[in-house]
Amino acid sequence: MAKVVVTLKIMPDSPKVNLDDLQKNVLKKIKDAIGDTETKTEREAIGFGLNALKILFVMEENKSVEVIEESVRKLRNVQSVDVIDVRRAIG
């Protein structure tokens, strides 16, 4: 089965949100949904002290990213979750 590389952009609901804790909770939701996988996390400055988390991860093509998106959206201190990129992995 092919793999896809997915990038989520998670917006916290306030600049005061602890991004380290939020990142840990998001990565746990991803692991719960698809098991251990490769991940990469970045922070993107939005403005006025607000930063977004961009989390890239690899998953099987036949699994649904919507399940992960919904579980992350339900986390405390999350304003929005967007899938900003999905690419088929080569190799």
The whole-model pTM stands at 0.92
Q: Give residue 91's pLDDT.
A: 66
Q: Give residue 1's pLDDT.
A: 76
> How many CB atoms neighbour CB 90 within 10 A?
7
Could you tell me if 65 and 6 are in contact, meaning their C-beta atoms sit under 8 angstroms apart? yes
Q: What percent of the chain has pLDDT over 90?
A: 96
Measured in degrees and rounded to the nearest 5, phi and psi for residue 41 equal -125, 135
Could you tell me if 89 and 1 are in contact, meaning their C-beta atoms sit under 8 angstroms apart? no
Domain 3-88 -> CATH class: alpha beta
